[in-house]
Chains A and B, each alone.
Chain A
Amino acid sequence: MTHLPPLSRRFFITAGLSAAGGLAIGTILPGAAEAFGLNAAPYAPAGDGKAAEVNAWILIEPDDSVVIRVAQSEMGEGILTALPMIVAEELECDWTKVRAEYADAHRNLTDGHPYRRMGTGGSGAVRRSREFLQQAGASARARLIAAAAQQWGVDAAACTARDGKVTHAASKRTLGYGALAAAAAKIALPQEPAIKTPEQFRLIGRPQARFDTPPKVNGQAKFGIDTRLDGMVYAAVTTCPVFGGTVKQVDDSKIKGRRGILQVVPIPGGVAVVADSFWRAKQAVADLVVTWDKGAAAKTSSDEFRKEYRDALDGPAANAKRSGDVADGLAKAAKKLDALYEAPHVAHAAMEPLNATVHVQADRLDAWMGTQDPDGALLRAAAAAGMKPEQVFIHNCFLGGGFGRRAINDELTQAVIVAKAVGKPVKLVWTREEDMQHDRYRPQAAIRFKAGLGADGLPVAWDMRTAVGSISRSLGRDPVASGIEPSAVEGLANVPYAVANLNVDCILKNTHVPVMFWRSVGSSQNAFALESFVDEMAVAAGKDPYQFRRTLLAGKPDFLKVLDTLAEKGDWSKKLPAGQGRGIAIHQSFGTIVGEIVEVSVSPKGEIKVPRVVAVVDCGHVVNPRTVEMQIESAVIYGLTAALYGEITIKDGRVEQSNFDAYEMVRFADAPAIETHLALSGGSKWGGIGEPGTPPIAPALCNAIFAATGKRIRSLPIKNTDLSGRA
């Protein structure tokens, strides 16, 4: 093996992590650390030593170009462009000279958390960072102005900053940021400047091309799986097909002496084969004969779980919300409805299978991967290696999809164990089969509603009950002693519709199948049930589903604006021919309201086509309108795949689906035209955008199918319902 030189900045870059198109990744090295604030002295010389770090987020080079650091992970949602826009808005730099790079988790750990939380999830990149990113830009701008004023001997208040230059109008003097950055870095402001209010924005709210597009059309964008290090070897893994099972015995006689095979390494619940190429490792791992101890869950099945979740609805529950008297309201109702909805486990199935490349040395560990949680990955790697967190460096790459899955990096633990065992840098890659069968899935759920309608057809009482897997329990984070997990009842406990008597109960119930955040989390299954049932109520009341919702949302102007815009843009009042239908749904999640109208056609054979989806969004404010459109399209299609096809089933304790042949995806032929419209309420609302487009699609589609066929679908995925002869 080639002996590796000590890791240096150059090593990181030549290791294949500097993407073309102006994206540099992981260029921060450990250095003298001191407590860091917006006003503090620069952290360390950066780049070639000529650029000045004005604060932890901003580097300015002598040619006035600006590097803005991004603490969240780029997994398609466009934050690599949107977050720099927020900083640049205040910095008043020349946007055409801005580049983005990832912030460094090691620095976040050792330098007083200048990047705060680095996790990406909960559609929170903009809404949870916006203010302090604006502040970072404003602070740097004020210091650049102060540096110029100092140099000119004038009052800073008489200077202005724009397009990367400071100008003193009275004396007609101008200096570029590049000439001022080093001095600005040493300036401490007496107080931080105020940040802009939305009406002052000049960059935020205007569509900008994404920074990550150019390297993503020529193969240059580096994902974790593309990492290549000197002397690197490859690992493929197999873990017990029944979750929680262990290895009894490994017979590796079939792979002994095979070309390129280096080592067989035990990992938790499984075994890794290390080879000099991934393909050889993958072939070999498939030829291992492993005897498993499958544990107590080895006989379980989805049918059994489905019954257990249904039965649990009749058992004890924790109360998440109560107003009025539901029993009394139901007793007095003119009409009663009762319906059971069910949602199965679904897989994340990101296009890039999970992987991590790890190099362990005596006093440091480096990991290259795509993670949604660099802070957590750092601690995880340290724990797995038995090293101090300060010795670990996470080099985050582009993520080939995340959708929640890359928030918990099981693959990193394995890679650390294997890298330690072989003493070389190891790239560990999950096969698609491993990825699909060892996901942490969307929880299975059974949701029952009982509603009473008054003489006017409007609901007077509504009882909701959900039996669903607890994500906190599954992750071992929290036993959830209260019996209520916010994500389990999101969308239900905060139902926006007016009803005098409401009760929401929660039954947390887990099986051996691991569950986790799946794009839009609890809202995905809860909105399906809730918005389908609202349609059922409207039908029972003999009312138009749009008008019915309108009545129940009286006094909620933001919901009404979305709903009315949706009805208009989605041609709600226009008739469709027989066999076609239109469905509507509206849901608020992650601070954003999204309404969707789906048009569907159902053939006599029961085949479904979705030609058109219209979405209306109120996320308060928009940073990059282009990425908002893209995220709605993405969220709709992600949710459409789940609604039509998504179902992970368990037989003999193990997942039955293992690849895209058995786990169907929406492709071109299924993909609708999608129109996105904004109905922004502005004000103090800054909603998320990565997830809120997903929840309405399943119910809007099912409501459209009902409109076309009269068939109400209460159990996903739709493919399991025979619609032949219904249209």
Chain B
Amino acid sequence: MQAMIEISVNGQIHRLDVEDDMPLLWVLRDELGMTGTKYGCGIGQCGACTVHVDGEAQRSCSLPVSAAVGTKITTIEGLSPDSSHAVQRAWIAEDVPQCGYCQSGQIMAAAAFLEANPKPTDADIDQNLSNICRCGTYPRMRKAIHRAAALMRT
């Protein structure tokens, strides 16, 4: 019998009977049914699975659920209740997404990045954000990140 694992996601406590080494990604998607966080590569390369763990951007495909115990996890579903986070507003204003599959991860990565870098340059963005977008929304994301930074300052 497995011991129950307790994690906090978007302010809610969940008690789960899963293996310690099940990656957080699959706990979110398959156990909790929160499918906004995406599977892209499974090896922490693409960032489609990015969530916040205690406010830091983490690639949940490579984070065993046991390592997230005692932390506060935020997923795209919990970033804001109504798409009102500055990054989401900026993403809508710039019409960033194309296929949209990587965008949950991009938004979560950008939101954490802006907390640490409230007034980033393009070079800061290039150096710090490395999620993959096959639709090539990078130029629009750059614009949207600057717009979000401005929104967050007001």
A residues with a Cβ closer than 8 A to B are 16, 74-78, 209-210, 212-223, 225-226, 228, 234, 259, 277-279, 282, 349-353, 398-403, 429, 431-432, 626, 630, 633-638, 640, 659-661, 665-669, 671-674
Which residues of chain B come closer than 8 Å to A221, judged between CB atoms?
Answer: 100
Q: Across the interface, do B130 and A350 meet the contact criterion of CB distance under 8 Å? A: no
Question: What CA separation (Å) do A354 and B37 show in the bound complex?
Answer: 17
Q: Across the interface, do A219 and B37 meet the contact criterion of CB distance under 8 Å? A: yes
Q: Across the interface, do B130 and A669 meet the contact criterion of CB distance under 8 Å? A: yes
Q: Across the interface, do A213 and B37 meet the contact criterion of CB distance under 8 Å? A: no
Count of chain B residues near A, Cβ 8 A: 58
Most chain A CB inside 10 Å of its own CB: which residue of B42, B101, B125:
B101
Closest to A221 in B: B100
B153 to chain A, nearest CB (A): 20
Which residues of chain A come closer than 8 Å to B133, judged between CB atoms?
Answer: 351
Question: What CA separation (Å) do A218 and B79 show in the bound complex?
Answer: 8
Which applies to chain A's interface (DSSP): helix, strand, loop or mixed?
Answer: loop
Q: Across the interface, do B23 and A279 meet the contact criterion of CB distance under 8 Å? A: yes
Which residues of chain B come closer than 8 Å to A75, judged between CB atoms?
Answer: 99
A507 to chain B, nearest CB (A): 31
B132 CB-CB contact with A under 8 Å:
yes
Q: Across the interface, do B39 and A353 meet the contact criterion of CB distance under 8 Å? A: yes
Q: Across the interface, do B139 and A638 meet the contact criterion of CB distance under 8 Å? A: no
B73 CB-CB contact with A under 8 Å:
no
Extra A-B contacts (16), CB below 8 Å, given A350-B134, A351-B135? A76-B97, A210-B97, A217-B83, A218-B80, A219-B75, A223-B101, A228-B35, A351-B46, A351-B101, A352-B101, A398-B100, A630-B137, A638-B134, A660-B132, A667-B130, A667-B132
Which residues of chain A come closer than 8 Å to B54, judged between CB atoms?
Answer: none
Question: What CA separation (Å) do A215 and B102 show in the bound complex?
Answer: 13
Q: A214-B92, A667-B132 are in contact. Are A278 and B83 (CB under 8 A)?
A: no
Question: What CA separation (Å) do A398 and B48 show in the bound complex?
Answer: 16
Which residues of chain A come closer than 8 Å to B125, judged between CB atoms?
Answer: 668
Question: What CA separation (Å) do A76 and B141 show in the bound complex?
Answer: 15
Question: What CA separation (Å) do A218 and B91 show in the bound complex?
Answer: 10
- Near A by CB (< 8 A), chain B positions 1-60 give 19, 22-23, 26, 29-31, 33-43, 45-46, 48
Q: Across the interface, do B26 and A279 meet the contact criterion of CB distance under 8 Å? A: yes
Counting from the closest, the 4 A-B pairs by CB-CB distance are: A219-B36, A637-B136, A400-B101, A76-B98
B147 CB-CB contact with A under 8 Å:
no
Which residues of chain B come closer than 8 Å to A76, judged between CB atoms?
Answer: 97-100, 135
Which residues of chain A come closer than 8 Å to B35, judged between CB atoms?
Answer: 16, 219, 222, 225-226, 228
Contact with A along B131-150 (1 / 0, CB 8 A): 11111111111100000000
Question: What CA separation (Å) do A160 and B32 show in the bound complex?
Answer: 53
Contact partner of A401 (CB less than 8 A), chosen from B88, B92, B134, is: B134
Contact with A along B79-96 (1 / 0, CB 8 A): 110010000100110011
Closest to A432 in B: B41
Q: Across the interface, do B136 and A400 meet the contact criterion of CB distance under 8 Å? A: no
Closest to A208 in B: B95
Q: Across the interface, do B126 and A669 meet the contact criterion of CB distance under 8 Å? A: yes
Q: A218-B83, A219-B37, A660-B45 are in contact. Are A351 and B99 (CB under 8 A)?
A: yes
A532 to chain B, nearest CB (A): 22
Q: Across the interface, do A217 and B42 meet the contact criterion of CB distance under 8 Å? A: no
A selection of 12 A-B contacts at a CB cut-off of 8 Å is A210-B97, A217-B83, A218-B36, A218-B77, A259-B19, A278-B26, A353-B39, A353-B40, A633-B136, A638-B134, A659-B41, A659-B43
B129 CB-CB contact with A under 8 Å:
yes
B127 CB-CB contact with A under 8 Å:
yes
Which residues of chain A come closer than 8 Å to B48, judged between CB atoms?
Answer: 351
- Near A by CB (< 8 A), chain B positions 61-89 give 75-77, 79-80, 83, 88
Question: What CA separation (Å) do A638 and B134 show in the bound complex?
Answer: 7
Most chain A CB inside 10 Å of its own CB: which residue of B26, B75, B96, B138:
B138
A45 to chain B, nearest CB (A): 31
Which residues of chain A come closer than 8 Å to B75, judged between CB atoms?
Answer: 219
Question: What CA separation (Å) do A625 and B45 show in the bound complex?
Answer: 33
A250 to chain B, nearest CB (A): 23
Q: Across the interface, do A351 and B132 meet the contact criterion of CB distance under 8 Å? A: yes
Which residues of chain A come closer than 8 Å to B99, judged between CB atoms?
Answer: 74-76, 350-352, 398-402
Closest to B76 in A: A219
Which residues of chain A come closer than 8 Å to B23, judged between CB atoms?
Answer: 279
Question: What CA separation (Å) do A668 and B125 show in the bound complex?
Answer: 7
Question: What CA separation (Å) do A659 and B42 show in the bound complex?
Answer: 9
Contact partner of A638 (CB less than 8 A), chosen from B43, B80, B136, is: B136
Contact with A along B95-115 (1 / 0, CB 8 A): 111111111100100000000
Question: What CA separation (Å) do A659 and B46 show in the bound complex?
Answer: 10
B75 to chain A, nearest CB (A): 7
Q: Across the interface, do B95 and A669 meet the contact criterion of CB distance under 8 Å? A: no
Question: What CA separation (Å) do A403 and B135 show in the bound complex?
Answer: 9
Contact partner of A78 (CB less than 8 A), chosen from B98, B101, B132, B137, is: B98
Q: Across the interface, do A225 and B26 meet the contact criterion of CB distance under 8 Å? A: no
Q: Across the interface, do B131 and A213 meet the contact criterion of CB distance under 8 Å? A: no
A44 to chain B, nearest CB (A): 30
Contact partner of B92 (CB less than 8 A), chosen from A213, A667, A668, is: A213
Contact partner of B91 (CB less than 8 A), chosen from A212, A213, A351, A634, is: A213
Q: Across the interface, do B137 and A633 meet the contact criterion of CB distance under 8 Å? A: yes
A95 to chain B, nearest CB (A): 16
Contact partner of B95 (CB less than 8 A), chosen from A351, A429, A626, A659, is: A626
Question: What CA separation (Å) do A218 and B131 show in the bound complex?
Answer: 17
Q: A212-B97, A259-B19, A352-B38 are in contact. Are A668 and B138 (CB under 8 A)?
A: yes
Q: A218-B83, A432-B40 are in contact. Are A401 and B101 (CB under 8 A)?
A: yes
